[in-house]
Amino acid sequence: MTLQVAADRLSPLTEEQLNQYENDGYIILRKACSDDLIDMYNAHIHHIRAQDDMPEWAVPKRGAWTDADRFSIRVFNPHLHDGFSLQMLKLPIVRGALAQVLGDEAVGVQSMYFYKEPGSHGQAAHQDYYYIRNEPNTLTAAWMALEDIDEENGCLFAIPGSHKLGLLPHGKVKNVEEHEPWTDETEGADLSKEIPLVMEKGDIVIFHNLLIHSSRKNRSTDRWRRSYVGHYIRHDSVIEREDLKKKIPLY
pLDDT in tens, 18-52: 999 999 999 999 999 999 999 999 999 999 999 99
Instruction: Quote the pLDDT of residue 226.
Output: 98
Residue 206: strand pairing partners:
27, 142
Asked if 84 contacts 44 with a C-beta cutoff of 8 angstroms, the reply is yes
Output DSSP code: residue 178: T
CA distance 95 to 241: 23
pTM over 0.85: yes
Specify the fold of 20-58+66-249.
Jelly Rolls (2.60.120)
Percent of the chain with pLDDT over 90: 95
For 40, the enclosing helix (H) or strand (E) is helix 35-50
What is the Cα 133 distance to its own chain's centre?
Answer: 16
pLDDT 10s digits, 190-202: 999 999 999 999 9
Q: How far is CA 182 from CA 198, 211, 218, in A?
A: 25, 20, 17
What's the confidence (pLDDT) of residue 6? 63
**Per-residue tens of pLDDT for the chain, all 251 residues:** 545 556 689 999 999 999 999 999 999 999 999 999 999 999 999 999 999 999 999 999 867 889 999 999 999 999 999 999 999 999 999 999 999 999 999 999 999 999 999 999 999 999 999 999 999 999 999 999 999 999 999 999 999 999 999 999 999 999 999 999 999 999 999 999 999 999 999 999 999 999 999 999 999 999 999 999 999 999 999 999 999 999 999 99
The conformational region for residue 131 under phi > 0 = left, psi -120 to 50 = alpha, else beta, is: alpha
Domain parsing of the chain, residue ranges: 20-58+66-249
Under a CB-based contact definition with an 8 Å cutoff, are residues 137 and 228 in contact?
A: no
d(CA 162, CA 93): 25
Cα end-to-end distance, the chain, whole Å: 13
Query: Which amino acid does the sequence have at 203?
Result: D
Q: Is the dihedral of CA 203, 191, 239, 99 positive or negative?
A: positive
Task: State residue 233 phi and psi, 5-degree precision.
Answer: -135, 160
**130 phi/psi in degrees, rounded to 5:** -60, -35
pLDDT of residue 4: 55
